[in-house]
Structure 1
Amino acid sequence: MAKNNDRTPHIPNRRQEPPATEPTEPKEPRLAALREWWDAAWDNGGVLHTRWEELRRAPALGWHGMANWIKAVLGLAGICTVIILLDGATDALADAMRRLLSAAPRVEIGADTSNTVFAVVDQPIRTYIAAHTASLPISASTIYTVWQVVGLFGLIGGFLRSSGARLTWTAWGAASIAMVYSTTPADGRTIATGLAALAWTAASALALRGLTLRPSLFIHNTAPGIELRPEIHVPAPVAPPAEGTPDNVHPLQKR
């Protein structure tokens, strides 16, 4: 009978027990945590309390003193309002411009619009536009309407001190006077051109208001207590050297 040489001790199977864990505390409900944060935010120095105080003091502090986040909100609201208004007014403006251009008065060569003083200037312009728009893809009526709109833009923009509008007004007036001079018959050319120049000059009192041709001198004095006086300094004459004294000897060395 064979002997069993395996001397490995027999270890009985033991059931593995899970590691012991520390007892966990019950989690705080979310509603209670939210209520605690809300109360802390409205205490003195809290986030919501500080924002409310800044918003309450904003009318008294004005634009420069109010908080930056209020300025950002107001600026964003203003931009959104402008975008909404522009989006709603785009169709209405396009329709109005279409009606304005289609309803422009018909320009005919040699057709007298009226017998007033205004016709002395207006009729040569109408005739000039009608005579030089035959080869253009748009009608003479549209060109005449655009000419009126540009003049109105230059007058209103110049009154509001816009440099670009004033340049437009100047070019518009010079072109109008040139059209009147070119189209008016020779016997009345001088009178018509003079009336056009006078009318444009009178309207320029509004379009070019505040504009002066007098040169201005601006002196920026940054240091207080400094007074500028125009003075002329004449150097004192140098006395001739005394007799018997060499010319190369300094006067202080003379004894």
Structure 2
Amino acid sequence: MSHNDRQMNGQPRPNTILDQLELPPARKDKQRLAKLRTAWKESWQEGGFLYQRWEEAFQARHASWHEAATWIKAAVLFGGLSLIVMMVAAAGDIADAALKGLSAVPATGAGDGSGLWGTIDHPVRIFLAGQAAHLSVAPAALYAFWQLTGLLGLVGGFFGSAGARIAWVLFGIGSLAMIWSAAPAGGRAAATGLAALMWALASIFALRGLTLRPVVHNHPPQYQFNPAVHLHATLPAPTPAGDDFGDEPDNVRSLQR
């Protein structure tokens, strides 16, 4: 802009919006940074926005959940829900991978059933393979589900889950029934008894802390009844001294205290 444009009738022209728009970009950036620094410092001063949030976060360490600030509760709940979603997703992926890995094992690949574990596992594989022929599911999938149920029942029962303990009991009963049905006739009783003993030993961990004794809670009565009898007697007013009019009946006697 020329010198003549800066003057009007020999006097300097006052600053206008056009003059502000004509500032160089570097100077505009400096002004923005200066404003941001000023706003940042003011927010950390006493009574500022960030100062108040920091005080609320500092006091939340010693305050209860109801006394904490609303934004802290929202942040904690959002973080907790996000963590739960990630854990559920990870657990689903792990369970899916474990199920696929177990399904890859042939259902009838237990060899000749030698050894203690083979004596129990081989009849179960044979039973599931025979039942899968009448179902629209692979024998390996049935065997994998049987293994996964036993594993979850054992681990969950160890940590005191009631549902896992119920699953563990049903798993044991079903396993004994399958072994009795598919084991050789000559060793059916021995195989079933051996499976029952192994299941009982594993139940020491799965049913840890479970007792059949009734739990008796002795609580003091909440309400106490104190019987009491209240008698209200109305006494006549005493006769004033010297009031002897002789008009009382013969059967009335004055009350003496």
TM-score interval, normalised by the smaller of the two chains? 0.5 to 0.7
Q: Work out the CA distance in 1 between the residues paired with 2:180 and 2:137.
A: 25
Q: How does 1:99-110 map to 2 (within 5 A)?
A: 99-107=100-108
- The residue that corresponds to 1:52 in the other structure is 54
Shift of 1:79: 2.2
The one-letter code sitting in structure 1 at the alignment partner of 2:50 is: L
The change in CA–CA distance for 1:135 and 1:40 in structure 2 (over 3 A counts) is: same
Contact preservation (8 Å) 1:104, 1:142:
no
Tell me if 1:96 matches 2:80.
Answer: no
Give yes or no for contact 2:160–2:208 (8 Å, CA) kept in 1. Answer: yes
Q: CA 1:66/1:215 → structure 2, altered by over 3 Å: closer, same or farther?
A: same
Moved more, 133-142 or 145-154: 133-142
Q: Residues 149 and 95 of structure 1: is their aligned pair in 2 closer, same or farther, counting only changes over 3 Å?
A: closer
* Residue range with higher mean Cα deviation, 198-207 or 97-106: 97-106
Deviations 1:11-44 (A, max 9, x none): xxxxxxxxxxxxxxxxxxxxxx999987775554
Count of residue correspondences: 192
Deviation at 1:116, TM superposition (A): 0.9
**Alpha-carbon shift at residue 188 of structure 1 (Å):** 1.4
Measure, in 2, the Cα distance between the counterparts of 1:163 and 1:86. Answer: 20
RMSD (Å), alpha carbons: 3.6
What is the DSSP-based 3-state SS (H/G/I as helix, E as strand, rest coil) of the residue aligned with 2:132?
coil
- Secondary structure of 1:187's partner? coil
Number of the residue aligned with 2:182: 183
Match of 2:131 in 1: 132
- Tell me what 1:170 maps to: 169
Structure-2 change in CA distance of 1:98 and 1:218 (3 Å): closer
Amino acid at match of 1:175: G
Does the 8 A contact of 1:158 with 1:166 survive in 2?
A: yes
Partner SS, residue 132 of structure 1: helix
What does residue 27 of structure 1 align with? none
1:160 corresponds in structure 2 to 159
Partner deviation per Cα, 1:145-172 (whole Å, 9 max, x = no partner): 1110111111111111111111111011
Instruction: Specify the SS of the correspondent of 1:138.
Output: coil
Deviation, 1:98, is: 6.3
Q: What residue number does 1:203 align with?
A: 202
Rate the CA distance shift 1:56–1:37 in 2: closer, same or farther, 3 A.
same
When residues 94 and 218 of structure 1 are mapped into structure 2, their CA distance, relative to the original with a 3 A threshold, is closer
Contact 1:41 1:47 in 2 (8 A): yes
How far did 1:185 drift? 2.4
**What's the CA shift string for 1:111-151, capped at 9, x where partnerless?**
74442111111111111111221121111121111110111
What is the letter of the counterpart of residue 100 of structure 1? G
**Aligned CA distance change for structure 1 residues 52 and 93 (closer, same or farther; 3 Å):** same
SS of 2:218's equivalent in the other structure is: coil
Q: Give a deviation string over 1:168-221, Cα, whole Å, max 9, x none.
A: 110110010111112222321221111111111111111111110000111233
2:78 to 43, 63, 76: 76
Could you tell me whether the CA contact under 8 Å between 1:180 and 1:192 is conserved in 2? yes
Q: Residues of 2 paired with 1:91 and 1:197: CA distance?
A: 32
2:204 & 2:64 partners in 1: Cα distance? 38
Instruction: State the secondary structure of the residue aligned to 1:136.
Output: coil
Say yes or no: does 1:148 pair with 2:147. Answer: yes
Residues 54 and 66 of structure 1 are in contact (CA less than 8 Å); yes or no, is this contact kept in structure 2?
Answer: yes
